[in-house]
């Protein structure tokens, strides 16, 4: 089952208009897109995803709601170019839900989960050439330690990387639970009982495989340039690295340049084009956390174009 995180807050945050044009940058299994489509009967929805399984499932769901949508198989990095190909220069709202979808985690053979045994994969786009198996078996110890520390914020990154290299010298590491076992042996026992010991390392490898952080800032800035006046962008993140990027991008486009910040009368041309709607990130309600523990790390931020 797919659970859409903070669906109500996302839809409210977009401030939907019936005749508006909207983009779901991360279609997934259409939890958000289906709600948008119900509310824009005279408008249009463009949705992006790389996962053909998600695209097929979502298309079947959305066609029951309406025909005023188009799913584009592409990374959201190319949103602007793909929309321009279709004659769309501006839109009224954009939603980014940056997490891995529940079906991706729960489909064991996708190799995202550290709870089940499967081939190491973690590709969101199944046609991509680099998988988690390639990262684990071909990256140098130094590079492995670097991505596990930077993308997973894992304090035992060096020990984990050292043991990965040691084990792969004996035989190729091909399965998720093989990697989990190596990770467990790389940290003190007391650390393995606080939370799942592989969570941070699996996150790091997934980010590396899918280039998630490499493209996020550029994608957000390009997407912001598409918004009409009054248009909003809603972004849901699931770890501090993503949230920091979103926070910094939103701050950079919504503040007066520091050189003129103290002036008594700032000319309109120098005032920012955007206004942050959420001064602090929105987090899931207690009720949502009871329903879906996977939403515990989610943070939602909203920005609006004002000029």
In terms of domains, do 296 and 244 share one? yes
pLDDT score at 104: 66
Write down which residue in 179, 210, 241 finishes a domain.
210
Instruction: Tell me the CATH number at 243.
Output: 3.40.50.150
Q: How far is CA 27 from CA 49, 80, 155, in A?
A: 6, 16, 33
Write down which residue in 160, 191, 210 finishes a domain.
210
Number of domains in the chain: 2
Residue located via tokens 């690295």: 241
Assess if residue 138 is contained within a domain: yes
pLDDT score at 64: 96
In terms of domains, do 160 and 236 share one? no
In this structure, what token pair is assigned to residue 263? 């002036």
pLDDT score at 131: 95
**pLDDT confidence bin for 112, thresholds 50/70/90:** confident
Write down which residue in 157, 181, 210 finishes a domain.
210
pLDDT score at 192: 82
Assess if residue 228 is contained within a domain: yes
Does this model's pTM top 0.75? Answer: yes
How confident is the model over 237-273, as pLDDT tens digits? Answer: 988 999 999 999 999 999 887 767 767 777 777 788 9
Query: Higher model confidence: residue 111 or residue 303?
Result: 303
Q: Which residues contact 202 (CB under 8 A, 6 or more apart)?
A: 112, 113, 114, 122, 152, 176, 179
Secondary structure letter of residue 101 according to DSSP: P
pLDDT score at 101: 65
For residue 66, pLDDT beyond 90: yes
Cα dihedral 91, 101, 66, 14 sign: negative
Assess if residue 43 is contained within a domain: yes
How confident is the model over 70-95, as pLDDT tens digits? Answer: 999 999 999 999 999 999 999 999 99
d(C-alpha 149, C-alpha 212), whole Å: 15
pLDDT score at 271: 84
The residue range of the domain holding 33 is 7-97+213-305
How confident is the model over 10-23, as pLDDT tens digits? Answer: 999 999 999 999 99
Assess if residue 127 is contained within a domain: yes
Assess if residue 160 is contained within a domain: yes
In terms of domains, do 92 and 221 share one? yes
> Counting Cβ atoms within 10 Å, is residue 1 exposed (0-12), middle (13-18) or buried (19+)?
exposed
Average predicted confidence (pLDDT) for the chain = 91
For residue 4, pLDDT beyond 90: no
Cα Rg of the chain, angstroms:
21
DSSP secondary structure, 157-198, as one string = HHHHHHHHHHHHHHS---BHHHHHHHHHTTS-HHHHTTS-TT
pLDDT score at 103: 61
Assess if residue 106 is contained within a domain: no
pLDDT score at 2: 55
Please give the backbone phi and psi of residue 284, each rounded to the nearest 5 degrees, phi first: -60, 150
In terms of domains, do 84 and 120 share one? no
pLDDT score at 106: 62
How confident is the model over 165-210, as pLDDT tens digits? Answer: 999 999 999 999 999 999 999 999 888 888 899 999 999 999 999 8
Among the residue ranges 5-9, 54-58, 107-111, the one predicted with the least confidence is 107-111
């Amino acid at each position: 089952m797919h659970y859409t995180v903070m669906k109500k807050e996302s839809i409210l945050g977009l401030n939907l208009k019936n005749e508006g044009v909207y983009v779901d940058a991360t279609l997934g299994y259409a939890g958000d897109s289906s709600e948008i489509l119900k509310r824009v009967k005279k408008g249009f929805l463009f949705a992006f995803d790389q996962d053909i399984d998600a695209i097929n499932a979502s298309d079947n769901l959305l066609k029951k709601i309406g025909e005023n949508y188009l799913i584009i198989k592409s990374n959201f990095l190319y949103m602007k170019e793909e929309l321009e190909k279709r004659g769309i220069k501006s839109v009224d709202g954009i939603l980014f839900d940056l997490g891995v979808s529940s079906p991706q985690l729960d489909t064991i053979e996708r190799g995202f989960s550290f709870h089940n045994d499967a081939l190491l994969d973690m590709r969101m786009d199944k046609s991509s050439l680099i998988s988690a198996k390639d990262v684990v078996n071909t990256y140098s110890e130094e590079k492995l330690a670097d991505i596990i520390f930077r993308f997973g914020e894992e304090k035992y990154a060096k020990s984990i990387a050292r043991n990965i290299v040691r084990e792969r010298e004996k035989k190729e590491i091909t399965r998720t639970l093989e990697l989990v076992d190596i990770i467990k042996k790389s940290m003190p026992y007391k650390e393995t009982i606080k939370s799942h010991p592989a969570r941070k390392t699996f996150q790091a490898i997934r980010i590396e495989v899918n280039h998630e952080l490499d493209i996020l800032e550029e994608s957000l800035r390009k997407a912001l340039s598409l918004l009409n006046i009054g248009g909003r962008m809603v972004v849901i993140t699931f770890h501090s690295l993503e949230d920091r990027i979103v926070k910094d991008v939103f701050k950079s486009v919504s503040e007066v340049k520091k050189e003129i910040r103290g002036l008594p009368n700032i000319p309109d041309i120098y005032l920012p084009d955007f206004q942050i709607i959420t001064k602090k990130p929105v987090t899931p309600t207690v009720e949502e956390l009871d329903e879906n523990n996977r939403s515990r790390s989610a943070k939602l931020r909203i920005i609006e174009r004002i000029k």
